[in-house]
Amino acid sequence: MPASLKKNVDLAVKEGNYASVSELFRDAFRIWENERLIQEIRESQREAQNGKYKLLRSLKDLR
């Protein structure tokens, strides 16, 4: 990890924003995962608006 990033991470923990470095990275990872999910949903919405979707009549249609 670059020294400048480590300094910011350590500062965030020291200031009490996070209990540990591990907690900070778990939180950052959750945020990253959520952003990826939002991007996937938006892409799916765009595809549906463009007519690229399959109408599901039952859960069997997912196969």
Tokens linked to 14: 């020291």
Could you list the mean pLDDT of each consecutive 10-residue stretch along the chain, which spans 63 residues? 96 97 98 97 92 84 76
CA-based R_g, the chain, Å: 20
Domain coordinates in residue numbering, the chain: 8-50
Phi, psi angles (nearest 5°) of residue 50: -90, 10
Query: Would you say the pTM of this structure is higher than 0.75?
Result: no
DSSP label at 2?
-
Largest CA distance in the chain: 55
**Residue 60, pLDDT score:** 86
Tokens linked to 50: 């463009």
